[in-house]
């Protein structure tokens, strides 16, 4: 599927994610030039048909679309600095994690060098790159998204442009990503408790999956409550969660499991009850999490 008519792509940063991105472009037949600080990481991609640029300046000059996947925005700017003069008129698409402030800073840096800029985020693991339902969001210059949408879709079928503000993808990446660690630590805590009984963590997988499905099914209701500010129709109240908190300590004692990470979460529930949300929906925790507006 090598296509002379496919857009040439440059991939900069060949860690686990950058390598997966380059592989997806190669598989879809895009002429792909790669560059990485540690040059040896390019070898497996060259074996699959990529062209290796020894210098970042040569990489940037190799195509109209530059996709970067470095650790952070700051690393991206540092790595591209020697090639900054060649960025003029090219489309720069970053696909790293980072804060909205980092995205804004990089957008200003890219504009300063005459590059057209899109900040993106991959909401999945490297092995999912290229799958039809893999989610990637982008924000920034819509004309870049429209011009290269078909090429970017190679990385994942659920490809979304969130808006013209370059920091939106980073905002959503962080806002949606916030679920990850609490959900995983919860699973690991449960696994520690069943392992303490000589049972396998694998025995939990089906049940935890159902629990996560249930949580997913509740998100539209919670979002509606938060957006309307009306928490009075509580299927699961703050007080219900407050009552459940004491069981954590009992299980911790019995199974010899460290549940300290839950203390701040239970503290949040307690503060919500103290603020008068006891009989309100658990989504009222959002009100406790939102800090008062800062004075201008
Ligand atoms: N892996 C995942 O599951 C996953 C999922 C979603 C999003 N992401 C995001 O994707 C981005 C890359 O992740 P990854 O897993 O590919 O990380 P990784 O395997 O650690 O690779 C990091 C890459 O960044 C390069 N790099 C870092 N600092 C640099 C600098 N100052 N100058 C030049 N190159 C620099 C590294 O070059 P060297 O090889 O020379 O060190 C390497 O190519 C991160 O923002 C990550 O949060 C990753």
User: What does the pLDDT read at residue 293?
Assistant: 77
Asked if residue 83 lies in contact with residue 60, where contact means CB atoms within 8 angstroms, the answer is: yes
Q: For ligand 1, is residue 78 a contact (CB within 6 Å)?
A: yes
Q: DSSP string covering 38-105, please?
A: SGGGGHHHHHTTPEEPSSHHHHHTT-SEEEE--SSHHHHHHHHGGGGGGGTT-EEEE-----HHHHHH
Ligand 1: residue whose CA is nearest its atom 37: 37
pLDDT category of residue 37 using cuts at 50, 70 and 90? very high
The closest-lying atom of ligand 1 relative to the alpha carbon of residue 14 is 43
Show me where the domains of the chain are located: 9-175, 179-289
pLDDT over 70 at 2, yes or no: no
Q: Is any ligand 1 atom within 6 A of the Cβ of residue 76? A: no
Atom of ligand 1 nearest to the CA of 96: 45
Mutation pick for ligand 1 pocket among 11, 13, 54 (CB with most ligand atoms within 8 Å): 13
N-terminal to C-terminal alpha carbon distance within the chain: 57
> Residues 45, 34: contact at Cβ < 8 Å?
yes
248 pLDDT more than 90: no
Q: Which atom of ligand 1 sits closest to the CA of residue 72?
A: 45
Does residue 211 register a pLDDT over 70? yes
Interval 74-104: pLDDT, tens: 999 999 999 999 999 999 999 999 999 999 9
For 279, phi then psi, to 5°, come to -90, 0
Confidence of residue 251 (pLDDT cuts 50, 70, 90): confident
Please identify, by atom number, the ligand 1 atom nearest to the C-alpha of residue 19: 16
> Using CA atoms, how far apart are residues 252 and 189, in angstroms rounded to an integer?
9
CA 55, 75, 162, 295 torsion-angle sign: negative
Six token digits for residue 87: 């960025």
* 191-203 confidence digits (pLDDT tens): 999 999 999 999 9
Confidence of residue 22 (pLDDT cuts 50, 70, 90): very high
Let me know if domain 9-175 sits in CATH 3.40.50.720: yes
Question: Residue 3's pLDDT is what?
Answer: 57
Name the strand (E) or helix (H) holding 137.
Answer: strand 135-140
- Looking at the DSSP bridge assignments, the partners of residue 51 are 33
Span 229-245, mean pLDDT?
94
Instruction: Please tell me the residue having the least CA distance from ligand 1 atom 9.
Output: 96
Burial 92-113 (b: 16+ CB within 10 A, else e): bbbbbebebebbbbbbebbeeb
pLDDT surpasses 90 at 281: yes
CA atoms within 13 A on the CB side of 227: 6
Domain 179-289 has CATH 1.20.1510.10: no
For the segment 28-38, the average pLDDT, to the nearest whole number, is 98
Distance CA 50, CA 296 (A): 52
Per-residue pLDDT tens over the stretch 148-185: 999 999 999 999 999 999 999 999 999 999 999 999 99
Residue 1 confidence (pLDDT):
43
What is the predicted pLDDT for the residue at 204?
Answer: 98
Displacement of CA 176 from its chain's centroid (Å): 7
Residue-wise DSSP of 166-228: TTHHHHHHHHHHTTHHHHHHHHHHHHHHHHHTT--GGGGHHHHHHHHHHHHHHHHHHHHHHHH
Query: Where is 243: in which H helix or E strand?
Result: helix 238-255
- From residue 55, alpha-carbon distances to 3, 34, 39, 185 in Å are 25, 10, 10, 42
Residue to substitute in 12, 14, 17 for testing ligand 1 pocket (most ligand atoms within 8 angstroms of CB): 17
pLDDT per position as a tens digit, 92-149: 999 999 999 999 999 999 999 999 999 999 999 999 999 999 999 999 999 999 999 9
Q: What percent of the chain has pLDDT over 70?
A: 98
Contacts for 72 with CB less than 8 Å, ≥ 6 apart? 96, 97, 98, 102
pLDDT of residue 296: 57
Q: Tell how far the Cα of 174 is from the centroid of ligand 1, in angstroms.
A: 17
Question: Angle at which helices 73-80 and 100-112 pack, to 10 degrees?
Answer: 20
Model-level pTM? 0.90
Residue 14 beta carbon below 6 angstroms from any ligand 1 atom: yes
- How far does the centroid of ligand 1 lie from the alpha carbon of residue 111, in Å? 23
Q: Ligand 1 atom 28: the closest Cα is on which residue?
A: 75
4 three-state secondary structure = coil
34 CB under 6 A from ligand 1? no
Ligand 1 lined by 70 (C-beta under 6 Å): yes
pLDDT above 90: residue 295: no
Q: Is 120 in the pocket of ligand 1 (CB under 6 A)?
A: no
What is the per-residue DSSP string for 113-133? TT-EEEEEEE-S-GGGTT-TT
Residue 21: pLDDT band with limits 50, 70, 90: very high
The Å distance, Cα 236 to ligand 1 centre, comes to 41
């Amino acid at each position: 599927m090598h296509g002379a008519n496919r857009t040439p792509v440059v991939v900069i940063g060949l860690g686990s994610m950058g390598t997966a991105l380059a592989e997806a472009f190669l598989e879809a037949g895009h002429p792909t030039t790669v560059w990485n600080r540690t040059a040896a990481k390019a070898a497996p991609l060259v074996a699959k048909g990529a062209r290796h640029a020894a210098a970042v300046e040569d990489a940037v000059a190799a195509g109209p679309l530059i996709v970067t996947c470095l650790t952070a925005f700051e690393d991206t700017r540092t790595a591209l600095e020697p090639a900054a003069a060649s960025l003029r008129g090219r489309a720069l698409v970053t696909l790293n994690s980072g804060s909205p402030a980092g995205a804004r800073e990089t957008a200003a840096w890219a504009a300063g060098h005459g590059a057209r800029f899109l900040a993106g985020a991959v909401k999945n693991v490297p092995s999912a790159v290229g799958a039809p339902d893999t989610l990637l969001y982008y924000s920034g210059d819509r004309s870049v998204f429209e011009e290269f949408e078909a090429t970017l879709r190679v990385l994942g079928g659920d490809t979304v442009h969130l808006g013209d503000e370059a920091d939106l993808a980073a905002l959503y990446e962080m806002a949606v990503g916030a679920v990850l660690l609490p959900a995983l630590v919860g699973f690991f805590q449960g696994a520690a408790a069943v392992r303490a009984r000589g049972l396998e963590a694998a025995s939990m997988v089906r049940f935890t999956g159902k629990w996560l499905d249930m949580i997913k099914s509740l998100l539209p209701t919670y979002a509606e409550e938060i957006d309307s500010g009306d928490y009075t129709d509580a299927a699961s109240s703050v007080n219900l969660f407050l009552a459940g908190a004491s069981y954590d300590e009992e299980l911790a004692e019995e199974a010899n499991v460290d549940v300290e990470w839950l203390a701040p979460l239970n503290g949040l529930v307690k503060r919500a009850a103290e603020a008068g949300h006891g009989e309100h929906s658990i989504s009222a925790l959002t009100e406790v999490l939102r800090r008062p507006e800062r004075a201008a």
